[in-house]
A and B are shown apart, each in its own frame.
Chain A
Amino acid sequence: MSYRIAIDIGGTFTDYVAMNEETGELIVTKASSTPKNFADGVLEAVKKGGVALEEAAYIVHGSTIVINALTERKGARTALITTMGFRDVLEIGRANRTDLYNYYYTKPRAFVPRMHRFEVEERLNKDGEVIIPLDEEGVRKIALKCRQEQIEAVAVCLIHSYANSIHEERIKEILQEELPGVEISISSEVIKEWREYERTNTTVFNAYVKPAASKYLDALKSRMKEQGLKVEPYAMQSNGGTATFEMIKINPINMIESGPVGGVIGANEIGKILKEKNIITFDIGGTTAKTSLIHNNEIRITTDYKLENTPIYAGYPVKAPVVDIIEIGAGGGSIAWIDSVGNLKVGPESAGADPGPACYDRGGMQPTLTDANMIAGRIDPVRFLGGRFKVNIQKSYEAIKKISDYYRISVEEAARGIIRIANNNMMHALKLVSVRKGYDPRNFIMVAMGGNGAIHSPALGRELKVKKIVIPRHPAVFSAWGMLMTDSRQDFIQTRITKVCKENMADVNEIYNEMIEKAVKLYTDFGFRRQDLFVVKSADIRYIGQEHAVRAAVPSDELTEKDIDVIRHNFETLHEQYYAFKLPEAPIEFVNFSITAFGKVKKSEIKPFRISGKPEDAMRGRNIVDYDEDGKLEVPVYIREKLGTDSTIKGPAIIEEETSVTVLYPDQKLHVDDYGNLIIEEA
């Protein structure tokens, strides 16, 4: 038998999903994450899953190694080389004051201190022409200083290097000679996009995480090989595609958000089998809620990711392609509290998994959203996590009593208030990705995931007025499942401001061909076959004189004059969608050219999953559940695993499963489809 396996490291748990290639059967398990050495948790999950690694036909891994090295500031001792006159580019940043009224606002601190930032004599102009030649002797002197300072990684980012990488490449050669064993990262190999601060920071981050990422991936791979793994393992990238361990080691920054994207990919695949093109994903875990919008089955990728960014903190720009996901501090562990003027707030502080909500009875005294859901009867304390995890609802009462005493109301009313405020926060995030971007949620389905997704999404989907709400099988490990559904993917980008006109088409073809050549070489170097590759072209285009650029599709064949109208049409349609205006007379220009090169891997096929059983047999009793505005209702409780295909249930009802609960509202109905998904619609 052969299996396809996905292993996804999260903050608390390492999720494991194995799919039998012939039968489609899923094996699902979790192990505790092991931050001291993440590979231990991964191998523990493998052990618990019970599939021998030699039976793995494919294995993909979502890892937090990169983001942890960054957020914990545990990366390499890194140096930076810049163009003369720009030593401080990393310290100046974009100079914005995100926290407008706070005189104590503190900018993001540069990851490379000034003493390790070096200038080299050289200069290119905007067209990439050499104005001042590279001072190679100067580079060797810098190398000497790096040696003295025991530098472990060097980032190189020169002004306008996206237009011509000649100096960066030469510096890399010299440094490799002078500094054997030191990781070198040059910006033109990471991202060829203009804006020197953003590119420099991205390159620095890449260099900073490179030694740790390589070490981790090498160690994990060799341990898995020792246990019999025969195939080359893949890593999940933030762009929604995978890369082999060896490929990702070149630019490990592309792994920065490798976990949550699995859920978005998975939701899109579910959308495809349901013939739904427009999807809002909604992933609620213990600490955060994440949402992403998929339009026309296209997952939105951005290079505007910022590490540690908040509404009052600028964070660090990372120009790596990342699936566009909005994340807010609202999850099961989110803590309810009262502010200085007596308003009830929920989150962003979370009790996490340890001590966790008060009901976990591990010393957590703070009232959390999970405690409120417990008191509202939505989560059955006896059946929590399939009854394997003992919770103490008395502790929930004690914790929430602090809130109810303050307002002089009952504990039940306070619990309802907490749920209402948390729902409101989540609704805010859902609106940010949808209505505020000009999309009408009525044309979308919502796919709920994460341990808490199914609890809140029926209420929120109803208020947002989405078409349907889908609760896939095993929602708690859905993100890992999604990782089995994707191809290998590499994105390339090249800034070159070029007017869209027939005179320039030859140049444009040349730019694209150069990028495609590079992509093909990369893939074939790492063992892919030419016939398994396919390339999608796009470009960031704008009206000349405007700043807003839109990434529009570009025809995939060699471009001719005739394609100009196609490109303009693609651009204007999107421009109007995003920015609500068109300028039909204005000339347009390319800002960035980009290609996405996919390397086909054999993917898991979603097979129908039939269960037999009538709803009456799946019912295990009745519970009193607080439905907020709809009142307290006595509702039937069903066991999901026993609900047969094609079962239909009218709300209100509760559907319990191993790691999640679905709260169906009075005016909703639920249907179990051929694939085992719960489909919720207005009754």
Chain B
Amino acid sequence: MGNVDKFTLENIADGLVAAAEEMFLSWGRTSQSTIIYEVLDYAAGLTDARGNLIGQANGVTAFLGTITYSVKSVIDKFGYDGLKPGDIILTNDPYNGSGTHLCDVSAVMPIFYKDEIIAFAANKGHWNEIGGKSLGSWSTNATEIYQEGLQFPIIKVYEQGRLNEAVKDMIKANVRTPEMTLGDLYAQTASLRVAEKRILELVERYGKDSVLESIQMMMVNGEKLAKLELGRLPHGVFEAEDFIDTESNGIEDVYVRVKVTIDDENFIIDLTGSGPQVAAPINCSIYGAYSAARVIYRAIVCPHAEANEGFYKPLKLIVPEGTIFSAVRPAPVSCNWEATARITDLVAKALAPHIPDRMTAGHFLSIIGTIVGGIDDRTREPFVLCEPQAGGWGAGRDKDGESGLVAIGDGETYIMPVEVAETRYPIIVEQYSLNLASGDGKFRGGFGLMRDYRILNSSAELTTIASRYRYCPWGINGGTDGSCNKIQVFSDGKMAEKATFSNYFMKRNDLVRFISGGGGGYGDPYERDAQRVLEDVLNEYITLEKARDVYGVVIEDRDGELAINIDETNKLRQNRKQVN
């Protein structure tokens, strides 16, 4: 015990979490890439001297585990003796700590107090461009990681505060937007120094021992909270299976499965039995799997927890090498979100019927990563519209699903306004509206969206990838499944529909329609409150016929006003009960 009381330890703990947040804000503020400051595709965190997570700030969920493993990979490679004050290490090695894909680069800095490492600051974010075969460095048809960009195999970009010019020159020569990429490198590394400054201020003010004690207290509290919540969850073994159906590179459905075991002390996710890695960029490495496991674990155990290593202690992941969830070099991983999101969804699917207070029915899941690019006729400059799509979420035990919300792999991610898109790119958005197909139930699935781009340029290329193209979001406890994601291209009166398009040629006046799926329903549609069914009809979410046929509610027109025919409704609903 240091010489400060419990309340001071809490304030120090707040200060540590605030330092991670400040690092996050600082990078967002100083970055030159829109994907960092508009899409918030980045994260920042602090670990203790052994790489255990103290606190982390995220814009999207996908980076949840990556801070810890990036730091641990640095300790493994250099050892404490190999690290000096002012060193900053870069890694984007998916197979060794960094986890996601090459575009996401981690930077790690040891924080020294006197001659001792007391913590690490680390952050990771999506660089707009890191070279490779496709502009923007992700493609839907890579077959090996070597096509996906420059790799930083845990290297020092700063040595004792001095920039390594050789690394800088390598980056400059290998990416398509060297100025922006290097600008972002500087912003990213500068924000690490902000965190260092704050940590050292805390040490100066409260003393090193109190800060270390506060870190310990956070870990202990994190574990305590997790175990408290584990005690409240249903215990046992829960299983689910599914298919990943992106059809990227002609890969057929990949079978995936999970077995989740929960008891008072453990939350074990076992992915054994899932299909092997494929020659398409939809794999993730085991570190990607760790991150995904943390996302769904946190969502189930305590969505509002201050997440630190203590909180994650009960979580264990089992997966044999070489599956789609634990791919090894040289498997491509640039669309790794298809695998990681699937891990979260498998666990959700296994548990949702048993913990309806935490989990809702299945959602559209795939982020439907989209690129529409080309050379703008007006300016002769390249344009790249790069964005995720939003879609429908599942219903819960007391609510309809949400309509038009980004997928679990995203987060504080904002869809581009139509007016901004039309100003920036040679397109016109002909509609952005609800896709009214979703799962039915006592509570309805949320609606997906339809977004239409008509090309005003002489030509453009479309690259996009979706799963849940044939296997739709799942309903629970009697609710029906939602609707599937699909992408349709209309050209000369013909329509081509697929889950994945790679550098697909489009010409002036062609139209691409992104249709995101609706979420699964919850409970028996016949139990839906008749008044809500009437409102759905009035709001033109469902038709009169659907109200009658699916929901067993008879609605009639009385002098120009729609009303429920209570007798007919009761009769219809009773009847079916008797049939059953």
Assuming the A-B contacts A96-B414, A101-B298, A102-B304, are A195 and B228 also in contact, with contact meaning beta carbons closer than 8 angstroms in the complex?
A: no
Give the complex CA separation of A421 and B9 in angstroms.
Answer: 11
A138 interface hit (Cβ, 8 Å): no
Q: Chain B residues with Cβ under 8 A from A91's Cβ?
A: 403-404, 434
Name A488-529 residues within 8 Å CB distance of B: 497
Q: Are B187 and A581 in contact (CB under 8 A)?
A: yes
A385 → chain B, closest Cβ, in Å? 29
Interface flags for B383-420 (1: CB within 8 Å of A; 0: not) read 00000001001101001001111100011111101111
Q: Chain B residues with Cβ under 8 A from A420's Cβ?
A: 7-8, 11
Assuming the A-B contacts A85-B433, A194-B419, are A115 and B539 also in contact, with contact meaning beta carbons closer than 8 angstroms in the complex?
A: yes
Interface flags for B276-317 (1: CB within 8 Å of A; 0: not) read 000000000000000000010011000110000000000000
Stretch at the interface among A39-47, A285-293, A338-346: A338-346
Name A55-96 residues within 8 Å CB distance of B: 85-89, 91-96
B14 interface hit (Cβ, 8 Å): yes
Interface flags for A98-116 (1: CB within 8 Å of B; 0: not) read 1111111111000001110
B388 → chain A, closest Cβ, in Å? 9
Q: Are A125 and B224 in contact (CB under 8 A)?
A: no
Name A401-460 residues within 8 Å CB distance of B: 407, 413, 416-417, 420-421, 424, 428, 431, 436, 438
Give the complex CA separation of A298 and B225 in angstroms.
Answer: 46
A131 → chain B, closest Cβ, in Å? 8
Q: Are B540 and A107 in contact (CB under 8 A)?
A: no
* Count of chain B residues with a beta carbon within 8 Å of a chain A beta carbon: 74
Give the complex CA separation of A421 and B12 in angstroms.
Answer: 11
B458 interface hit (Cβ, 8 Å): no
Main secondary structure of the interface of B (DSSP, over half): mixed
Within the complex, which residue of A107, A195, A341 is in contact with B221, where a contact is CB–CB below 8 Å? A341
Q: Are B405 and A107 in contact (CB under 8 A)?
A: yes
Q: Chain B residues with Cβ under 8 A from A198's Cβ?
A: 417
Give the complex CA separation of A312 and B538 in angstroms.
Answer: 31
Q: Chain B residues with Cβ under 8 A from A583's Cβ?
A: 32
Within the complex, which residue of B6, B417, B560 is in contact with A196, where a contact is CB–CB below 8 Å? B417
B146 interface hit (Cβ, 8 Å): no
B359 interface hit (Cβ, 8 Å): yes
Name B29-55 residues within 8 Å CB distance of A: 29-30, 32, 34, 37-38
B78 interface hit (Cβ, 8 Å): no
B414 → chain A, closest Cβ, in Å? 4
Give the complex CA separation of A438 and B434 in angstroms.
Answer: 42
Give the complex CA separation of A95 and B451 in angstroms.
Answer: 13
Q: Are A101 and B303 in contact (CB under 8 A)?
A: yes
Q: Are B221 and A580 in contact (CB under 8 A)?
A: no
Within the complex, which residue of A105, A159, A431 is in contact with B418, where a contact is CB–CB below 8 Å? A159
Give the complex CA separation of A451 and B82 in angstroms.
Answer: 56
* Count of chain A residues with a beta carbon within 8 Å of a chain B beta carbon: 63
Q: Are A86 and B299 in contact (CB under 8 A)?
A: no
Within the complex, which residue of A85, A93, A114 is in contact with B540, where a contact is CB–CB below 8 Å? A114
Assuming the A-B contacts A97-B412, A97-B413, A114-B540, are A421 and B404 also in contact, with contact meaning beta carbons closer than 8 angstroms in the complex?
A: no
B453 → chain A, closest Cβ, in Å? 12
Q: Chain B residues with Cβ under 8 A from A581's Cβ?
A: 30, 32, 183, 186-187
Give the complex CA separation of A81 and B119 in angstroms.
Answer: 56
Q: Are B432 and A92 in contact (CB under 8 A)?
A: yes
Q: Are B187 and A546 in contact (CB under 8 A)?
A: no
Give the complex CA separation of A103 and B405 in angstroms.
Answer: 11
Q: Chain A residues with Cβ under 8 A from B540's Cβ?
A: 114-115
Q: Are B419 and A92 in contact (CB under 8 A)?
A: no
Give the complex CA separation of A233 and B418 in angstroms.
Answer: 41
Q: Are B390 and A85 in contact (CB under 8 A)?
A: no
Q: Are A99 and B303 in contact (CB under 8 A)?
A: yes
A548 interface hit (Cβ, 8 Å): yes
B419 → chain A, closest Cβ, in Å? 4
Q: Are B420 and A104 in contact (CB under 8 A)?
A: no
Q: Chain A residues with Cβ under 8 A from B6's Cβ?
A: 344, 407, 417
Q: Chain B residues with Cβ under 8 A from A125's Cβ?
A: 422, 428
Within the complex, which residue of A85, A92, A341 is in contact with B415, where a contact is CB–CB below 8 Å? A92
B164 interface hit (Cβ, 8 Å): no
Q: Chain A residues with Cβ under 8 A from B566's Cβ?
A: none
Within the complex, which residue of A98, A104, A159, A438 is in contact with B399, where a contact is CB–CB below 8 Å? A104
Give the complex CA separation of A337 and B539 in angstroms.
Answer: 43
Give the complex CA separation of A343 and B190 in angstroms.
Answer: 33
Give the complex CA separation of A580 and B189 in angstroms.
Answer: 13
Give the complex CA separation of A160 and B10 in angstroms.
Answer: 50
Name A191-226 residues within 8 Å CB distance of B: 194-198
Most buried by A among B11, B410, B411, B418: B418
Q: Are A579 and B402 in contact (CB under 8 A)?
A: no
Which residue from chain A places its CB closest to the CB of B388 in the assembled complex?
A: A95
Interface flags for B154-197 (1: CB within 8 Å of A; 0: not) read 00000000000000000000000000000100110010000000
Give the complex CA separation of A456 and B303 in angstroms.
Answer: 33
Which residue from chain B places its CB closest to the CB of A343 in the assembled complex?
A: B10
Q: Chain A residues with Cβ under 8 A from B433's Cβ?
A: 85-88, 92
A501 → chain B, closest Cβ, in Å? 14
Q: Chain B residues with Cβ under 8 A from A548's Cβ?
A: 37
Q: Footprint of B on A, CB under 8 Å?
A: 85-89, 91-107, 113-115, 125-126, 131, 148, 159-160, 162, 194-198, 312, 340-344, 407, 413, 416-417, 420-421, 424, 428, 431, 436, 438, 497, 546-548, 578-581, 583
A selection of 11 A-B contacts at a CB cut-off of 8 Å is: A98-B411, A194-B417, A194-B423, A196-B417, A341-B224, A417-B5, A420-B11, A421-B7, A424-B11, A436-B25, A580-B187
Query: With contacts A94-B415, A340-B228 known, what are 11 further pairs, Cβ within 8 A?
Result: A96-B413, A103-B393, A126-B422, A159-B418, A194-B419, A340-B225, A343-B10, A417-B6, A421-B7, A436-B22, A579-B29
